[in-house]
Amino acid sequence: MREAVCHMSAAVPPPIDVSTKVDYVALPAGTMIGRYRVVSVLGHGGFGITYLARDAQLDREVAVKEYLPAALAVRHDGSSVLPRSTEVADDFGWGRGRFIEEGRTLASLHDAPSIVKVFDFLEANGTAYIVMELLRGRTLEDRVKADGALSPAGLQAMLEPLLAGLQKVHGAGFLHRDIKPANIVLDADGRPTLIDFGAARAAMADRTRTMTAIFTPGYAAPEQFASSAKQGPWTDIYGFSATLHFAITGHAPPSAYDRLMADTYKPLAALWPQGFPIRLLRGVDTGLSLAIEQRPATIAAWRALLHDEAADSAPTLVMAPAARPASHRASARRGWLAVGAGVVLAGLAGAYVTFAPAPTPQVKPVATSSQPSPEAVETALNLSATDRRRIQLALTAQGFDTRGTDGALGPRSREMIAAWQQAQKHPTTGYLTAAESQALRDASPPPPPRPAGDQSAASAPVAGSGVFVGSLSGSATGGSAAPPAPMSVDLRLAGRQLAGRIVHPACGSLPLSLTVDPSGTVSGSLRMPEATGCTTNAASASGRLAGSTLTLDLRGVDVRFRGTLSSQGQRRPANGLPPPGQRSDVP
């Protein structure tokens, strides 16, 4: 036995020389992926690895993105990629399909401005690869951190091509889902490119809890924190709006999750940074609305809110204010691309950056005029609440759905007014002239009669805010387990969304996000622990919101929780909720 031990000890390999950098996961330099030879690693991420490679056929450098989700797959024999276990094999294969689909979609968008170009996509080594252009520049995040917030001219130079490119992406039925300053690369001339699409990543996180969805605080929309909320172009609009906020102010807006608990966001239109059109600032504020229905539904509609009057189809003069509030900056912002030494940028999209300083453009002063602004023209009409409701009815009847007839002419109604004006080939200001107002009121259909004694309209809940707290009693539906202890619930209502957490007595807290329709019906889905342990399974949520009372019914695989929560007004719970995705107490 002693000899055997000595023999085994002698077989122990010598210690690794830590001074030599070895990557045991990435493909080594010189490896061929189809016709692409790996040169070096650009970056690692939870979803894969990006390489600098050379196209042997066209003799050019490219970025190659490899599908290798660390939670689902491992490198085998130095090249092949295999699922970690049979349990995650289906998820790995499904994710690879979404990854290829993302590459195929992006490859079809070669004519889309400011979108990273995809040259090729292929399958090899048991996984998939996307071959993209190698970008040279630096990110918007690095640019602002180094040189300060953008000037109005710099922002406009970046805004238009990104809007055009993103509109093409949405037109192809695709979402980015991860727009932020770190995913916009600026070249030496200030031209932007949107990189690192997160749609496949997010789809994987939605499918399996083995992969955690990672969101950048300040840029993720509220609906991205819950699997039950529908995502669409409005989701990208929130991230883009937050990115514009960063470019204008130098810092991100508060996290959407924190805002759902206590909204501390300060509208840009109220701050009015010097030189920026008030309409653009209002458009950014609207894009940062927490409630989905208050955000523009499409890039085209958002453009109508963002564009200053000079960009409309008919010329309109912009009035400059006679006096600035004290919060306005007194000094002009620094130039758009006052760039220092070149840097190298690594990321999943494979963007690499090196360039020399560029000249700073001069900002032209805004022309002034004594002509009243479109907003002032509409204000002078003194439209009554009945007039405004008739306008909303007319717009909806003509296909421009205002999603209500409250007579408030809020952001959604302004968006629809702008869309209607565009269809009429009028200046798309979002505000009505006397002739437009009269035309819509004349075209307004009569409101439907309300049955005598019908109080449903008065009692129906409207989009609002408030905090609901309480507990839900549990019962085991499988028949064998004892009834579980009650769960406590904290939810905050913002618009038509309820977001917060449930706290399981044994398993800790889990995120909960629900929607409320105009009739007060509550619905959604969640992950909930099973009756006999803390393994989470898909569950459904239903309920009813009526005034200050919220009734909930949560149904899991073998457990059910029911109860009634009471409203606590605007108070934020003293035990502030952790953001979804940060839970470490539930497997």
List the structure tokens of 420: 């209607």
How confident is the model at residue 384, as a pLDDT? 81
Per the listing, tokens 């509550």 go with 522
DSSP bridge pairs for 43: 50
DSSP string, 55-116: ETTTTEEEEEEEE--TTTEEEETTTEEEESSGGGHHHHHHHHHHHHHHHHHHHTTTTSTTB-
List the structure tokens of 447: 């409101």
Does 208 score more than 60 pLDDT?
Answer: no
Per the listing, tokens 């009554």 go with 384
Question: Which residue ranges form the domains of the chain, and what is each CATH number?
Answer: 32-133 (3.30.200.20), 138-311 (1.10.510.10), 375-447 (no CATH), 461-567 (2.40.160)
Q: CB neighbours (10 Å) of residue 37?
A: 16
Alpha-carbon span 432 to 430, nearest angstrom:
7
DSSP bridge pairs for 418: none
Does 531 score more than 50 pLDDT?
Answer: yes
User: CA-CA distances (angstroms) from residue 170 to 195, 229, 232, 237, 289?
Assistant: 15, 18, 9, 11, 20
pLDDT in tens, 145-160: 999 999 999 999 999 9
Burial 72-106 (b: 16+ CB within 10 A, else e): bbebeeeeebbbbeeebeebbeebbebbbbbbebb
Let me know: does 50 contact 348? Beta carbons within 8 Å: yes
pLDDT in tens, 536-564: 777 778 888 888 888 898 887 778 888 88
Mean pLDDT of 378-406: 81
Let me know: does 351 contact 185? Beta carbons within 8 Å: yes
User: CA-CA distances (angstroms) from residue 569 to 259, 499, 565, 572?
Assistant: 15, 15, 12, 9
Does 355 score more than 70 pLDDT?
Answer: no
Q: Between 465 and 103, whose confidence is greater?
A: 103
Q: CB neighbours (10 Å) of residue 11?
A: 7
| Amino acid residing at 43 | G
Instruction: Point out the least confidently predicted range of 49-63, 207-221, 261-275.
Output: 207-221
Query: Which H or E run includes 166?
Result: helix 152-171
Tell whether pTM > 0.75: no
Q: CB neighbours (10 Å) of residue 138?
A: 25
Phi then psi for residue 120, to 5 deg, are -160, 160
Instruction: Point out the least confidently predicted range of 173-182, 201-210, 254-263.
Output: 201-210
Half-sphere exposure of 564 toward its Cβ, with a 13 Å CA cutoff? 6
How confident is the model at residue 556, as a pLDDT? 79
Query: Which H or E run includes 9?
Result: helix 2-10
Q: CB neighbours (10 Å) of residue 187?
A: 16
Number of H-type helices and E-type strands within the chain: 15, 19
Alpha-carbon span 167 to 183, nearest angstrom:
17
pLDDT in tens, 123-133: 999 999 999 99
Let me know: does 580 contact 511? Beta carbons within 8 Å: yes
What's the whole-number average pLDDT of the chain?
A: 75
pLDDT in tens, 234-273: 999 999 999 999 999 999 999 998 898 889 999 999 999 9
Phi then psi for residue 427, to 5 deg, are -60, 130
Phi then psi for residue 48, to 5 deg, are 170, -165
Instruction: Point out the least confidently predicted range of 23-37, 50-64, 314-328.
Output: 314-328
How do beta strands 464-476 and 559-567 pair?
A: antiparallel
Q: CB neighbours (10 Å) of residue 310?
A: 12
Alpha-carbon span 575 to 508, nearest angstrom:
14
Half-sphere exposure of 125 toward its Cβ, with a 13 Å CA cutoff? 20
SS3 for 509-548, per residue?
EEEEEEEECCCCEEEEEEEEECCCCCCEEEEEEEEEEECC
Please list, in sequence order, all residues whose beta carbon lies within 8 angstroms of the beta carbon of residue 169, skipping any fewer than 6 positions away: 109, 112, 115, 175, 176
